[in-house]
Amino acid sequence: MAYSAEISRTNPSCFLFLIDQSGSMQDPAPPAMGADAPAAGTRAKAQSVADAVNRLLQNLVIKCAKSEGVRDYYQVGVIGYGAGVGPALGGPLAGRDLVPISEIADSPARVEERTRKVEDGAGGLVDQTVKLPIWFDPVANGGTPMCQAMRQAETLLGGWVQEHNLSFPPIVINITDGESTDGDPTEIAERIKALRTSDGACLLFTLHISSQSAAPVQFPAAEATLPDQYARLLFGLSSELPDFMLSFARDEGFAAAPGARGFVFNSDMVTVIRFLDIGTRPSNLR
């Protein structure tokens, strides 16, 4: 059965994030997407995305942490595309393509203190200071060379699947605010989704952060509810959720119908984190 390979240190899986760093990512995030921030709707898209990616990396580290240390169940890469295209992790990991999760754990660029609201046990909320490792910083400059980013992903993952043919297939998560400026990425996306291990085809998921004030959409099975051609194009690029991820989505309260795709449009940051977590929550971690 596809997407059932055991994920272990011997047979790790792979996550690759493609992050839009174009100039338009300086624009304010949609109001819904800033819903967990003190100034909802005023934070830049780039900052909201950076926060989401850093939290997701932290969650992956925690997921792989055992008594003897962090086990290398995953290799992780972040490719930014804007004024340039290339690896986007910072600090000691700058310039690296795919990095074992134990090195991610050991090498944040820095650790920041953040404040969040938590329940006080008496029906109210209080501020709590937490530490957040930072591996990825917000950047917003240049165009949106999505095709070039996907070609880099295709090359990188083409080599990875050859070396890890027995592994759970790679998952690519593309986070963008809209239109590719270097052509139609459809053909390249299809080539990425055609890459496969013996356990199944590569999965391509999309988080679309539009500048429109259109209603959020999570895991649609059809494009009818999407507001414009860019959203429909990105929906078309996205893979269907495998059955176990469909179950995870439903367990998280999403109304994910059969055929639902790994596509989220203009959702709040809590939903973004849940979306990313669903995409990185294989049921067969050992």
Tell me the backbone φ, ψ of residue 271, rounded to 5 degrees: -65, -40
Domain annotation for the chain: domains and CATH numbers: 13-105+138-279 (3.40.50.410)
**The predicted structure's pLDDT at residue 114:** 79
Tokens of 97: 């393509």
Contact status, residue 160 vs residue 14, Cβ threshold 8 Å: yes
**Which helix (H) or strand (E) covers residue 146, if one does?**
helix 146-163
**The predicted structure's pLDDT at residue 38:** 41
Q: Which residue, among 260, 266, 228, 229, has the nearest Cα to 244 in the 3D structure?
A: 260
pLDDT tens over the chain, length 286 residues: 688 898 999 999 999 999 999 999 999 887 655 444 444 456 899 998 999 899 889 988 998 999 889 999 999 999 999 999 999 999 999 999 999 999 999 999 999 987 777 777 777 778 778 889 999 999 999 999 999 999 999 999 999 999 999 999 999 999 998 889 999 999 999 999 999 999 999 999 999 988 777 788 999 999 998 988 999 999 999 999 998 888 888 988 888 899 999 999 987 767 777 776 776 665 555 5
Q: Alpha-carbon distance 280 to 246, whole Å? A: 13
Which own/partner contact pairs does 185-188 have at CB distance under 8 Å and 24+ positions apart? 185/146, 185/147, 185/150, 185/237, 186/233, 186/236, 186/237, 188/147, 188/150, 188/151, 188/154
Q: Which residue, among 141, 121, 135, 113, has the nearest Cα to 22 in the 3D structure?
A: 141
**The predicted structure's pLDDT at residue 35:** 42
**The predicted structure's pLDDT at residue 1:** 66
